[in-house]
Amino acid sequence: MTIFENAELDHTQVENAMAPEDSAGLRQLYSDFDQAHLMPLWTQLDDLMPMHPTPRSVPHIWKWSTLYPLAQSSGTLVPVGRGGERRAIGLANPGLGNKPYISPTLWCAIQYLGPGETAPEHRHSQNAFRFVIEGEGVWTVVNGDPVRMSRGDLLLTPGYCWHGHHNVTDRPMAWIDGLDIPFAQTNDTTFFEFGPDELTDYSTPKSSRNERLWCHPGLRPLSGIHDTVASPIGAYRWEYTDRALTQQLLLEDEGHPGVVEPGHAAIRYINPTTGGDVMPTIRTEFHRLRPGTATQTRREVGSTVFQVFEGSGSIVIDGTEQQLDIGDLVVVPSWVSWSLQADTSFDLFRFSDAPIMERLHLDRTHLEGTTR
């Protein structure tokens, strides 16, 4: 398609031909608009239809060294139980006003469960996952299936699955939760139900039943031959993730394809019934960079969150480099450029709203030159 000359302009370079001189008539018109619940496009086109995404949310880093002690304090001061449901502390993007949203689509929290505590069962339309960067001893019970939570594991509770948690140890445990709460609330899609105050199963098996049925590479049980909207796998174990990344880097060492770019191994967690994302609104991935490497700088439509799992490095967001240590969480808003840079071997968990963008054909990526 012809790219017209004007296509290069932005709003600031264009004089608004629709700005009439002030007059009593015009003031009356605008007042009538107000009365009738109307707002003209021509006075706010720049805001409504900017040249490219202009997110209100901002890039922001939450340090694990801040988060974890605050979670501990809340463990002391606030009981967990029915009504509040979870001792989860949401990361509130500073650009989104007084909302507990890490981005316009995503909610992210640190959740904390003390020794012997139980978070009661409930279910909701929102899709949820948990990712564990340290600790162990909690089981989450998903539709009656007890799922061990351990370091490096990704745990799913897709929309409408009943779930509760309990800590069987004498030590506390914390992890992060990711949900599509903002998207659900903005678009008015939320449903919620209370389940039993007690969990439906207090057993603590090493492997959940869903893993035993589904976690065999390239195999699908004949009893589960119908595709499901979300993944039937409730626990993606660190052992497998680590092994997959290790193999990609070894293949690169041997001169074979495997890494996504030089020095950069990465996997996407998938729904084995479709090969697609684990849940309809949330993408989850894990990335590993070799020491001294960087990812190609890119902009993407949609918001994304990283949590450092191992090692140290930095992220260059919109040209500004910021240090990242274990447990640190960083959000990158839509169309803001970013690149990860590894000091040591650098492991990061990532989640994003990419499935929303792709399913609605709103996705777009711009790759820039690498900066390191």
d(CA 270, CA 232): 10
> What gap in Å lies between CA 81 and CA 176, rounded to an integer?
18
Q: How far is the CB of 204 from its own copies (least distance, A)?
A: 15
**Strands of 235-236's sheet in order across:** 107-113, 173-179, 128-131, 154-157, 235-236
Q: Which of helix, strand or coil describes residue 120?
A: strand
Q: Which residue lies nearer to its own copies by CB, 109 or 305?
A: 109
Say if residues 178 and 131 touch (Cβ distance below 8 Å).
yes
Which is closer to its own copies, CB of 280 or CB of 292? 280
Least distance to its own copies from the beta carbon of 172, Å?
Answer: 16
Helix (H) or strand (E) holding 291: none
Burial of 191 (0-12, 13-18, 19+ CB in 10 A): exposed
Closest separation in Å from C-beta 36 to its own copies: 5
Instruction: In angstroms, give the least distance from the CB of 144 to its own copies.
Output: 8
The helix/strand/coil state of 302 is coil
| Alpha-carbon separation of residue 9 from 4, 5, 13, 43, 96 (angstroms) | 10, 8, 6, 18, 29
Select 315 or 332, whichever has its Cβ closest to its own copies.
Answer: 332
Query: What minimum distance in Å lies between the beta carbon of 102 and its own copies?
Result: 9
Q: Which is nearer to its own copies, 99 or 165 (CB)?
A: 99
Minimum Å distance from CB 55 to its own copies? 4
Measured from the CB atom, is 158 or 313 closer to its own copies?
158
Give the nearer residue to its own copies in terms of CB position, either 285 or 347: 285
Question: In 10 A of CB 318, how many CB atoms?
Answer: 14
Residue closer to its own copies, measured from CB, 91 or 315: 91
Shortest CB 182 distance to its own copies, Å: 9
Query: What's the Cα-to-Cα distance from 367 to each of 308, 322, 335, 337, 364, rounded to whole Å?
Result: 23, 20, 11, 9, 10
C-beta atoms surrounding 6 within 10 Å: 8
Longest dimension (CA), the chain: 77
